[in-house]
């Protein structure tokens, strides 16, 4: 469970970073 949550959190973080990087 923890592993899955970690993976989801990591994916979300990367997605957010990419979005912020693409917008500016």
Q: What is the pLDDT of residue 23?
A: 80
In eight-state DSSP terms, residue 24 is -
Tokens coding 10: 């990591």
Q: What is the pLDDT of residue 1?
A: 67
Which alpha helices (H) appear in 1-24, and where do they start and end?
Answer: 2-22
pLDDT tens digits, residue range 2-24? 799 999 999 999 999 998 998 87
Q: What is the pLDDT of residue 6?
A: 94
Q: What is the pLDDT of residue 11?
A: 94
């Amino acid at each position: 469970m923890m592993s899955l949550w970690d993976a989801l959190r990591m994916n979300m973080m990367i997605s957010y970073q990419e979005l912020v990087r693409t917008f500016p």
